[in-house]
Structure 1
């Protein structure tokens, strides 16, 4: 079974691009530290973050919390490449110069000597891997600053191009009970054995939740989910309700959705966000139940056969 990890996107706090939020709203460092320490106590050892979550805030908070348990043998995965210019406008930079700068900055914020995993953060799906040189990453490995590298992909289609190019050894990809495209496009790829797969968005951005089986969500204006296009929001809600049968299993639909991701043999780590200690306890309890029964896995495929056509390349 896959390992349960800890996602820290929520710790970035309010974040905006062109007046639209790109984060999960207000966050509290003391609450975040309690959740991280609770996770360590529960045996969670994999932590996922990024330098762009709150422009370094999530890394800083994670580093501060982990420093309270220095003997814990943890794996930290972070990401780089999303920057802001002098006008605070976003742009992407995966150059060797910025790579070195970003790694050193992440090491400082995380209070670590080595990054266990470094990922390019959401490069374009059409990124030119054929001419992108992995040598700077290999030098960082040799220098002991990183142990492994790869890509946190924007979509499964971009991830497939990474695999075709043979870049790195780690892929962080969207995979959940509603969006299972990774099964056909990535997990069965001839190069799959060369990669560790990290399942991100395992709860479909929080839509796989008991509350939304009967109620429409209301998201705060400082959350990115407030601005989801209507057709995406409607599809997610309708699809979640097609999986209402999962709510009858122990822990409800969220626990079942997490167990779905943990069930696939190609998935190494699943990284749900855990803003508070109660989230940690709920996710740990779900993981302890083990993989979903085969009949439940089949029922999911029957209830939600595929993603919307507009989520796929034209």
Structure 2
């Protein structure tokens, strides 16, 4: 079935740019991936583009516009055509510096204009509300300001980057937008049953975020304990979440025997699902981008390997599910 705003074909491997926002502190707590310099970010992006990546995901809140600015600078240096840029809005700081969520029509217009300037583009190919609450009142939220921006040529498509698959399901039920960015990886496959089994999913393009399970689907953690810098959000993960991610990743050790190892195989898992339009792993350096490119080259995993993944890690922990 054709998808809105352009037919969906085979899933493409893109790149996420949360990491280019730096530590991104809220108060004294980092919500990002630690320090990184612009030259490294630009080299990483250019390498990804030169390697065939045509989907870049970013957000205005990643480093208070820093990630968007660096993406814009990288795109200006590239001659590649047909690159889709997806950005997000809704998280800003108030006059006192506190983080607030604002999805109002007034801020929407302000945020779009600011993102266009930073990205140095005439149109935002995809604009998403950034992590609204799962219980957001979609019934009374007016999509007309977004439609007006489409008519003006400032955005191509719009939708939601959801906190959880449960919030994404409510977006689908309300029929808001045409793009949904959702958590999907070899450890957390809830989107398959909660979203993609629903006929309403046919009206959406899906972007798979967190495809490497916050970096836990990595060969290095099969044999060593992770130690995360204090300026990275992973340093502050609750112990029960950290332990589940680590132990569950180790249940997939058989993927490390495939070409490229565990992380490449995990990306291939996401690319294997026909419901997925784009997969957006983050990359902090050229080496990571080059390794991720192997996933696109190798393509989807064999069905027997996918079934082995399902058997090894049957479900997510109870604390990740709503209490109803």
Q: Which residue of 2 aligns with 1:274?
A: 283
Instruction: Work out which of the residue numbers 148, 153, 163 in structure 1 matches 2:162.
Output: 153
Instruction: Work out which of the residue numbers 3, 13, 19 in structure 1 matches 2:28.
Output: 19
String of CA shifts for 1:163-196, please: whole Å, max 9, x gaps.
0000000000000000000000011112111000
Q: Which residue of 1 aligns with 2:39?
A: 30
> Distance in 2 between the 1:287 and 1:45 partners?
12
Q: Which residue of 2 aligns with 1:237?
A: 246
Instruction: Work out which of the residue numbers 157, 171, 177 in structure 1 matches 2:186.
Output: 177
* SS of equivalent to 1:173: strand
> Does the CA-based 8 Å contact 1:40-1:72 persist in structure 2?
no
String of CA shifts for 1:187-215, please: whole Å, max 9, x gaps.
11121110000000000000000111111
* SS of equivalent to 2:199: coil
String of CA shifts for 1:227-284, please: whole Å, max 9, x gaps.
0000000001110011100001010000000000000000000000011111111011
Q: Which residue of 1 aligns with 2:299?
A: 290
Q: Which residue of 2 aligns with 1:312?
A: 321
String of CA shifts for 1:134-168, please: whole Å, max 9, x gaps.
00000000000000000000000000000000000
Residue 71 of structure 1 deviates from its aligned partner by 4.8
> Distance in 2 between the 1:76 and 1:246 partners?
31
4+ residue segments displaced more than 4 Å: none
Q: Which residue of 1 aligns with 2:104?
A: 95
Question: Residues 72-91 of structure 1 correspond to what in structure 2 (within 5 A)?
Answer: 72-91=81-100
> Does the CA-based 8 Å contact 2:126-2:156 persist in structure 1?
yes
Q: Which residue of 2 aligns with 1:195?
A: 204
Question: Residues 26-175 of structure 1 correspond to what in structure 2 (within 5 A)?
Answer: 26-175=35-184
Count of residue correspondences: 314
> Distance in 1 between the 2:299 and 2:80 partners?
28
Q: Which residue of 2 aligns with 1:5?
A: 14
TM-score of the aligned structures, taking structure 2 as reference length: 0.96
Judge which range, 11-20 or 124-133, deviates more: 11-20
> Distance in 2 between the 1:280 and 1:71 partners?
17
> Does the CA-based 8 Å contact 1:118-1:150 persist in structure 2?
yes
* SS of equivalent to 1:191: helix
String of CA shifts for 1:33-77, please: whole Å, max 9, x gaps.
111111111111110000000000000000011001245221000
Q: Which residue of 2 aligns with 1:211?
A: 220
TM-score of the aligned structures, taking structure 1 as reference length: 0.99
String of CA shifts for 1:63-93, please: whole Å, max 9, x gaps.
0110012452210000000011122211100
* SS of equivalent to 1:164: helix
> Does the CA-based 8 Å contact 2:22-2:63 persist in structure 1?
yes
> Does the CA-based 8 Å contact 2:49-2:80 persist in structure 1?
no
Instruction: Work out which of the residue numbers 256, 267, 271 in structure 2 matches 1:258.
Output: 267
* SS of equivalent to 1:300: helix
